[in-house]
Each structure stands twice: as structure tokens, then as C-alpha cells.
Amino acid sequence: MKLVSAKLLPSPSLSRAPQAPDANAHVTSQTCLDTGVDGGYYTPASHLLEVEGLRILLDCPIDLSALTAFSAVPLGASSSSGDAEDLIRGVPYYRSPTAVAAAKAGRIDAVLVSSATGLLGLPFLTRLPGFANTKVYVTEVAARMGSLMMRELVEMHREFVRCYGPDRDQSPVWMEGEKLKKLMSVLQKITTEDEENNNLAALVSLYSLDNIEECMQKTQYVKYGEEVCFNGMLMLKASSSGLELGNCVWTIKGPRASMTYLPSSIFVSAHALDFDYSSLKGNDVILFSDFSSLNGMYDDNKKMGEHIVDETDILLASNSVFRDDGMDEDETIKFLCSNDDIAEEIERISFICSCIIDAINSGGSVLIPIGRIGIILLLLEHMSETLHSSNMKSQVPIFMISETAEEIITFTNALPEWLCKSRQEKLFSCEPLFGHVELLKEGKLSLFSHLYSKGLLAAWKEPCIVFCPHWSLRHGPAVHLLHRWRADKRCLLVLEQGVDAELTLKPFMPLAIQVLGCSFLSGIKVGKIDPLLGLLKPKLILFPEGQKSLCPATDKQPWSFLYYSKGKTIEVPNMREEFEVRMTTEVAFGLQPRQLDKTTAVARLKAKLLLSNGQYVLAAAKSELDRSERHLLHWGTVDASCIPSALQEKGIVCSFSADADYSAPSDRERVISITSPGEALVKVTSERTTIYCDDEETAERVYDAFRSICNGI
């Protein structure tokens, strides 16, 4: 990963493209550090932003795809089978191109995190000595979820350490020879867009629980809609993005421009608070960072059958409706926030539920190693309904096996402020926020921290439904359970599309277990991008180069595009040349304006310049304004013909030198000699006036008279 500087200018056809900034101006620049892997849910994209001299990292995820190159911890007898021969047997390393690139940048002033997954790579960075003063901003819920996920990851990783021994200082054995080549080939397969073979550079050893703790201590938790000030200069505000509990869109407001950092968002959610797009209205720049259209929903939709409306239809429909100039804002909102998204999502969930029931009915167990907390909660809720209505004779136990299961389940019933409106209503009518509360109470759902937890053996009954980590199938209880059930064709494995299924399942081959690949709504649907931009009315959009075709620039749009791509820095033109400043009334009253002509006046000003909450304020300085009568700056020419009368008005007796000729061109030097009240000589040319005088009082009076006819301040 390299930080390459390149200047991309807006295309010349755009008439409203702002001017290029001064070379030494406070330029906003943006660098995309990583575009993520799976369209942004587990590994969101990340960026480095420089605003008014401050360096801000946007998200710092971990990329777990490198895990597929490693073999899961061997399990006695079962490990002998399976096509795991060319996988690396050792303590795995992890990729975090973002953390590595940010570390290379040397200094990061602040990190804005938009999701729990955007937090997972941060301890890699904050454990470095140079980042002790880096401040991290993240929503309370994303922070809580993120730290639980990190803890879970460290716990699962321990299995490897127990098996292979702890990391030593030198690089592990597999970093040499044949094994390395294999790793490289796997990595290349995962990250095909990387041209250079520097994947290895982004590989790092996992952080510890202490590192996580340290990272969380740098973190300031925020609520949705809470305005926080960073360094006096920038106002930061998180608004809900709708994708997941606690996920957010950031507004970064500097003294001269406001920017929206827009990661994957969902307009209407079945669990999280809806996308709060209205709070983004009027921001100057949008950094569009929703890569969800790359996660292959197209293909999956076909697989899922006729349930799903074809995305291209929506695109076409939206084009015909919304490209008209008479686009109605209310119509747009109605279109954006229609319940289609939820309906589709619920349809997917119930489809999965029906597959689960089928498997259970045939006597098989179901393994669900999905990492999305929202999906897990929805699945649980639907499952309780489905199980209820399907009249199954014996009760099918549902297990949730994870280090953090209990905490997550408890926690999710205590965050009403972060949930969608329909779930908030549950609070107001005193019902549990999620269906799993009922399942737990009825004893249908049991939570265990490990496979070897005390009660699990007693409660274990097959067929059963198990939710457990990890979707990589290299970590956690999922590995063991898959080994147990892989040869049983009645069983079902629910996997999320987007991970390379072939590579992931390789060590478990041959498989008899049924595999259901499913995908979920992970961001803004293509057809909704344009109407959204129309609603937000930005001046400039930073858009991923790779998705250019999704949102073609047209002449009609009142905004311009800058396209970014991974590893390139683009400079964002200044939105405003000037700064907005507030002046207190106290300062205003102290001004002594001088009228220059009918439309212009000037006043000298001395005040304290404060910077408070992103706003410059001129407040009265403690030391009084220097009220000396003598002006410091004069301009224009002095009309020589006015001089005698001006002097006489002040009671000065004067005479012009012999060659005085008022009508002569004014660039000639005029000499005026003064005899009373003191002796003085005044020489006036077009650009300069000199008062020769030994007596201060007289000089002062002459200057006074002169001032009345010369522009000065």
C-alpha cells in the first residue's frame, strides 16, 4: 500500500467546477487508503483526509480475508481429512492495509469511525508509539459492538497460539519458502486490484486485549446528532446510516467547508435507526464511500429466485421518474424511504428461515456463522415465529456460542435510542425491543461462551440451530461444528456471499452438508444514489473511480464530480475563499469607521481572535485599541488645491512656493511653507507627503489638516 500523490482536476465540461486553490492555501485533500473487500460490510473502505492542516483517518478496518490461507487449528482425527494440505499451519497474521498506510503517513490527528467493523483495525495503529495523541471518535454503540468483536477475535485467535505457541520476535517460519508463495497466491486472489506485490507489507500480527483497551481509551463516544469539536477547528457530527446498530455517516464541518463522509447506508432498516439523510443536507462536499454495489447482489438475487426485484428495473424506473427537472422533493423522499428495502430483507430472512425449518424437519442441524448482528437478531426473531407456526413436535434448541453472546444479547435489548422507529414504539408500549428476549425467557435460546462451556453438554441436543463465529471458517466454534456436520447431507450451513466460498470451504472438502449462500442489503441501492444526491444538493462529490458508471455525470446536475481511486490523493478545491467570522457587538461599537465614498467605509480593528466550535470570533481585546490620531496607512493622491483651505481651517498660516500653479499636473512636487503657529515645510507629490517640522505640536496640527483631505486609516 503506497500513498501516491496525484492531482485530479474536475473535468472541464463542468461549468460550476470551483477554482483551483492557492498553492499555499489550506487545501482539503483526500486519499482513499482501501476500498474494502466485500463491498464494505466486514471490511469497509477507508480514507485519509487533510482539512485545514489536520489529518483525519476515516475508518480503520481489519481485512480477515488473509485468514483463508491459514489452516484452522487441527482437531485430532478429523483434521487428517479435508483438502487442507497447502494451507499454512501456524499462528495467522492479519491484513490491515489502512493501519499500515496510516502508520506510514506518520501522524494522524483524529480517527472518525463509522461502524464497529471500521474500528477493528485501529489497535494496530494505536499500539504504535507515534499515535499516542490520536483521538478517536465513534458512536457509543459501534464502540461497544466493536470492542466486543475485537475481544472475540483475540479469544478465537488464542486457539492458534495454544496450538502453535506464542509469537516470537522473528517472523514466523511460514514467511519463507514455499508456504509464502502459497500465501501470496491466496492474497493475490483476494485482492486482485492490487497491482503491486506488496500485500505482505500489510500483514501484521494480531493485537492483544491490552492493545484494545489502550485503543478504547483514546476513544470519545458520541451519540447520533451530537456535535463535538475537534481542535477548536472542526465540528464533527455522527448521523445514523441505517446499515447496522450504531453505524453512522459523519459530517465534518470546517470554517470554510462542510463535508459528508458517506459510508454504506440503508434508508429504511428493520432494526437500526433509519438513515438520517436530512441532517446531511447542504454540506458542500460528499465523500461517497458506499461500495456495496460491488458485493454481488446481482448474482445472488438470481440465485434467491423471483423474490427479489431486479435491481436494473429500479435503476430504469428511477431514471425515468427522477431525471425530470420537475422532480418533487416529497416524491424523492417517498421513493428513497419506501419500505421495499425492508420487505426484501424480510423476504430474504424468511427464505432462510424456511430453509432452516426444512433442514430441521429432515433431521439435520443448522450452522449459522454469520457476523452481522442485525441479521442474527432478525433471524432469531423470525425463527421464533416460524418455529411457533410450524407445529414441530419436539422443541428445537437454538444455541448461540460466542465469548460475547451474553453481552451482545443483553446489550441489544437496552439501546432503544439506536433502533428503528417501529422498535422504539416497543419501548413506549413496554415490550421487549427484540424477539430474542422472549426466546430466552422460554428457554428456547441458550447462550454459551464456548463449545466446552459447562452447561452446553447437558443442553446439547441434535438437531439444533447454532449461531456462532466465525464467518471465515478458520476461527471459533464454527470450525468444530462444521467438521462435525460436513458429511451429513441433512444439515445446513448458512454462509454469507461475498466471502470466497470455494476457498473458505476448501479445508472441509468433501462436503455433503447443504450450503445456503445468502446476501443482504448492504448499502444504497444503485437507483437511489442519484435521487439522494439531488436531495442533499452538494457542490462537489468525491466518487469512486471504479463505480463511475453507476452515477454518470450529466450537464443537468448542479454538482461536479471528482473521482478517487485507491492509493491516490486528490486535492479538493476550496469551497470558500474567505472565512466566516463573528464579531461581538463590543468590538463593533469600538470601531471608528471612515467613510471613503457613498458606498464604502473602512475601520481599523484590533481584537482578540478566538476559535470556538469551528467558528472564528473577534472579541474585544483587553488592551484598548490604540487611539493615537496618527494614521498608519494613507492612499490615493492629495489634491493640492485643497491644501491651503485645509490648513487655514486649522488656523495655520501658510504660503506656497513661488512657482505655485494649481492647474499644473499633480505629479509635480508642491512645496508649502508654514509660518504660524510654528515653522514648517510641507512637500507634496503624487505618492508622498513630507512634513518638515521641528516642533511637535505644529507637526501634529499640520498633519491634522492634511488628514482631512487625504484618504487614510
Partner 1 sequence: MAIECLVLGAGQEVGKSCVVVTFGGGKRVMFDCGMHMGHRDSRRYPDFDRLLADGAADYTAAISCVVITHFHLDHIGALPYFTEVCGYHGPVYMTYPTKALAPLMLEDYRKVMVDHRGEEEQYSYEDILRCMRKVIPLDLKQTIQVDKDLSIRAYYAGHVLGAAMIYAKVGDAAIVYTGDYNMTPDRHLGAAQIDRLKLDLLITESTYAKTVRDSKHAREREFLKAVHKCVSGGGKVLIPAFALGRAQELCILLDDYWERMNLKIPIYFSAGLTIQANMYYKMLIGWTSQKIKNSYTVHNPFDFKHVCHFERSFINNPGPCVLFATPGMISGGFSLEVFKKWAPSEKNLVTLPGYCVAGTIGHKLMSGKPTRIDIDKDTHIDVRCQIHQLSFSPHTDSKGIMDLTEFLSPSHVILVHGEKPQMAFLKERIESELGMQCCYPANNETVSIPTSQNLKINATEKFIVSFCMDETENDPQKQNLNFGGDMPQGCRTEGVAEGVLLMEKSKTPKILREDELLHSLGMETHFVHFEPLHPSSIEVKHTGESAVQQSSLEHLDCE
- Interface positions, 398-427, toward partner 1 (CB under 8 A): 406-407, 410, 413-417, 424, 427
CB 713 within 8 A of CB 626: no
What is the C-alpha separation between 436 and 446, in angstroms, rounded?
10
CB of 692: closest distance to partner 1 in angstroms?
Answer: 4
Interface mask toward partner 1 for 147-176; x: CB under 8 A: ------------------------------
- If binding is defined by CB under 8 A, does position 225 make contact with partner 1? yes
Judged by CB, which is closer to partner 1: 229, or 337? 229
Burial class from Cβ neighbours inside 10 Å (0-12, 13-18, 19+) for residue 601 reads exposed
- If binding is defined by CB under 8 A, does position 546 make contact with partner 1? no
Neighbours of 274 (CB within 10 A): 18
- If binding is defined by CB under 8 A, does position 687 make contact with partner 1? yes
Chosen residue from 181, 303, 606, 668 binding partner 1 by CB under 8 A: 606
**Segment 552-581, which members bind partner 1 (CB under 8 A)?**
577-581
- If binding is defined by CB under 8 A, does position 677 make contact with partner 1? no
C-alpha cell at 480: 468444530
Contact segment (CB under 8 A) with partner 1 among 316-324, 391-399, 473-481, 688-696 equals 688-696
Contact segment (CB under 8 A) with partner 1 among 296-304, 370-378, 379-387, 626-634 equals 626-634
CB of 693: closest distance to partner 1 in angstroms?
Answer: 5
- If binding is defined by CB under 8 A, does position 337 make contact with partner 1? no
- If binding is defined by CB under 8 A, does position 29 make contact with partner 1? no
Contact segment (CB under 8 A) with partner 1 among 62-70, 96-104, 541-549, 627-635 equals 627-635
Calculate the dihedral angle through the C-alpha atoms of 495, 498, 500, 504, rounding to the nearest 10 degrees: -30
Neighbours of 197 (CB within 10 A): 10
What is the C-alpha separation between 334 and 470, in angstroms, rounded?
38
**Segment 194-223, which members bind partner 1 (CB under 8 A)?**
222-223
CB of 678: closest distance to partner 1 in angstroms?
Answer: 9
- If binding is defined by CB under 8 A, does position 455 make contact with partner 1? no
Of the candidates 569, 437, 652, the residue with the CA atom closest to the CA atom of residue 4: 569
How many C-alpha atoms does 485 have within 13 Å on its Cβ side? 27
CB of 428: closest distance to partner 1 in angstroms?
Answer: 5
CB of 467: closest distance to partner 1 in angstroms?
Answer: 19
CB of 96: closest distance to partner 1 in angstroms?
Answer: 24
Judged by CB, which is closer to partner 1: 310, or 679? 679
Contact segment (CB under 8 A) with partner 1 among 448-456, 529-537, 557-565, 635-643 equals 635-643
CA distances, 115 to each of 277, 379, 530, 712 (Å): 17, 21, 24, 58
- If binding is defined by CB under 8 A, does position 281 make contact with partner 1? no
- If binding is defined by CB under 8 A, does position 432 make contact with partner 1? yes
- If binding is defined by CB under 8 A, does position 638 make contact with partner 1? yes
**Segment 47-76, which members bind partner 1 (CB under 8 A)?**
53-54
CB of 417: closest distance to partner 1 in angstroms?
Answer: 4
**Segment 473-512, which members bind partner 1 (CB under 8 A)?**
none
Task: State the residue for C-alpha cell 490461507.
Answer: 69
- If binding is defined by CB under 8 A, does position 693 make contact with partner 1? yes
Chosen residue from 343, 346, 553, 583 binding partner 1 by CB under 8 A: 583
- If binding is defined by CB under 8 A, does position 589 make contact with partner 1? no
**Angle CA 595–598–603, to nearest 5:** 25
- If binding is defined by CB under 8 A, does position 632 make contact with partner 1? yes
Contact segment (CB under 8 A) with partner 1 among 30-38, 510-518, 550-558, 601-609 equals 601-609
Interface with partner 1: number of residues (CB under 8 A): 101
What is the C-alpha separation between 72 and 70, in angstroms, rounded?
6
Judged by CB, which is closer to partner 1: 320, or 628? 628
Contact segment (CB under 8 A) with partner 1 among 36-44, 314-322, 338-346, 589-597 equals 589-597
What is the C-alpha separation between 78 and 214, in angstroms, rounded?
39
Q: Where are the beta strands (DSSP E) in 110-214?
A: 110-112, 135-139, 203-204
- If binding is defined by CB under 8 A, does position 607 make contact with partner 1? yes
What is the C-alpha separation between 622 and 669, in angstroms, rounded?
44
Judged by CB, which is closer to partner 1: 308, or 638? 638
How many C-alpha atoms does 116 have within 13 Å on its Cβ side? 24
CB 383 within 8 A of CB 398: yes
- If binding is defined by CB under 8 A, does position 603 make contact with partner 1? yes
What is the C-alpha separation between 263 and 112, in angstroms, rounded?
12
CB 212 within 8 A of CB 150: yes
**Segment 230-259, which members bind partner 1 (CB under 8 A)?**
230-233, 235, 237, 255
Judged by CB, which is closer to partner 1: 228, or 501? 228
- If binding is defined by CB under 8 A, does position 613 make contact with partner 1? yes
Q: How many angstroms separate the first and last alpha carbons of the chain?
A: 56
Calculate the dihedral angle through the C-alpha atoms of 454, 458, 464, 466, rounding to the nearest 10 degrees: 0
Judged by CB, which is closer to partner 1: 393, or 598? 598
Packing angle between helix 140-164 and helix 209-217, nearest 10 degrees? 160
Which phi and psi angles does 656 have, rounded to 5°?
-85, 155
Interface mask toward partner 1 for 95-114; x: CB under 8 A: --------------xx----
Packing angle between helix 329-336 and helix 311-322, nearest 10 degrees? 170
CA distances, 63 to each of 43, 68, 186, 687 (Å): 6, 11, 13, 69
Of the candidates 108, 117, 94, the residue with the CA atom closest to the CA atom of residue 172: 94
CB 254 within 8 A of CB 285: no
